[in-house]
Amino acid sequence: MIEVLLILALIIITALSLVILYLYRNYVTPIRQIKQAAQKIYEGDFSRRIYIKGRNETVKVCALINKIADKYQSVQQKLDDKVKELDRCTRSLDNFAYVVSHDLKAPFNSIKSIAELFRIEYQNKLDEEGKELLHFIDIKVAEMDRLLQGVLQYSRVRESEESRGMVDLNILVSEVLKEVDPPAHIHINIKNPLPVVFIEKDLIYRVFLNLIDNAVKFNYKPEGYVEIGSSSDENWHNFYVSDNGLGIEAKYFEKIFNIFYRVQEGAAPPAPGVGLAIVKKIIEYKGGQIWVESKVKEGTIFHFTLPVIESQQKKTENKLQEAHQ
């Protein structure tokens, strides 16, 4: 009797094991594969496909997931092609702007020299109206000069003079402050130690130079305050440059980033109105964003972000190199 019971138990255990094995092979393993593939697709890796033999429902689910991946992969490919095309267009536009402004410089410099020669030769022979007209020529020549310089600078953003490297922004901002040389009534405060970022030094220099220069320039208060600060998380560096100056009306928040846009002609010392356009182009080229908050007569804050990824990559590479040495 015991032997019969033992044999029966053995048969039941074997049958159960076979059922479990069947379920495992036909359902648990495929479901795991489906989960992994779905996760990869969700993360943007559309190259993953699942192949499972059999006839049950999981096979149909796999086929559906593969179709979704096919579709996303082709959409992704089209998107990549468009991005490349857009990049090519931007580069050729930049190149066009560069060539035009560069070629215009030669005849422009001739006009400038002829006007100067005319002044030297004929200044004393001119009546008041003639002198006034000559003065207008000077003003327009200076304006044209600034515009050409502006277009040249704007078109060269992607052609940085320097290669990327680790840049200590504390040192960089102190160099910028030396160049801006703010008057005594403008107080500069660096809120916290700034990070080290992996970037082209000349590009990030131009960003801080334009923002700090504007913060100082557009401030007619007896005591001016400019603050520079930052915070970082694992993905982004967030920076700001704030001031208690003139402020900007909300309706100009977008327009001020357009090339040659100035809020009020004559509201500040003559400038070409390209500074913020260049800053925006640099920040976006580096994968960040820039925006402004402001209240008229109270002050302005320019915020901008830069991705951390590249600098982290560089740090990791450096660590690996050190470890290998």
Residues contributing to the site for ligand ADP (CB under 6 A): 210, 214-215, 218, 243, 245-246, 248, 256, 261-263, 271-277, 300
Amino acid at residue number 205 = Y
Nearer to ligand ADP, 197 or 278 (CB): 278
Q: Compute the least distance from the CB of residue 61 to ligand ADP, in Å.
A: 55
Strands 224-232, 186-190: pairing is parallel
Give the shortest CB-141-to-ligand ADP separation in angstroms: 18
Relative orientation angle of helices 275-285 and 201-217, to the nearest 10 degrees: 140
CA–CA gap between residue 266 and residue 273 (Å, rounded): 12
Three-class secondary structure of residue 241 per DSSP: strand
Q: How far is the CB of 219 from ligand ADP (least distance, A)?
A: 7
Whose Cβ is closer to ligand ADP: residue 63's or residue 152's?
152
DSSP 8-state code for residue 233: -
Q: What DSSP designation does 194 have? A: P
Residue 180 or 277: which CB sits closer to ligand ADP? 277
Please tell me the distance from the alpha carbon of residue 250 to that of residue 295, in angstroms, as a whole number: 8
Angstrom CA distances, 173 to 94, 115, 161, 188, 194, stand at 28, 40, 19, 11, 9
What is the CB neighbour count within 10 angstroms for residue 279?
Answer: 23
Minimum separation from the CB atom of position 43 to ligand ADP (A): 39
Nearer to ligand ADP, 218 or 304 (CB): 218
Pick between residue 273 and residue 288 the one whose CB is nearest to ligand ADP: 273
CB of 244 to ligand ADP, least distance (A): 10
**Backbone dihedral region for residue 147 (phi beyond 0: left; psi -120 to 50: alpha; all else: beta):** alpha
DSSP assignment of 128-158? HHHHHHHHHHHHHHHHHHHHHHHHHHHHTTT
Q: Which residue is nearest to ligand ADP (CB)?
A: 275
Q: Which is nearer to ligand ADP, 204 or 274 (CB)?
A: 274
**In the complex, what is the shortest distance from the CB of residue 84 to ligand ADP, in angstroms, rounded to a whole number?**
30
In the complex, minimum distance from the CB of residue 231 to ligand ADP, in angstroms, rounded to a whole number:
21
Minimum separation from the CB atom of position 51 to ligand ADP (A): 57
Question: How far apart are the C-alpha atoms of 59 and 33, rounded to whole Å?
Answer: 11
Nearest to 306 by CA among 285, 277, 278, 324: 285
Which residue, 200 or 243, is less far from ligand ADP as judged by CB? 243
* Count of residues making up the chain: 325
CA distance 118 to 105: 20
Q: For residue 309, give both structure tokens.
A: 């990824």
Q: Smaller CB distance to ligand ADP: residue 69 or 186?
A: 186
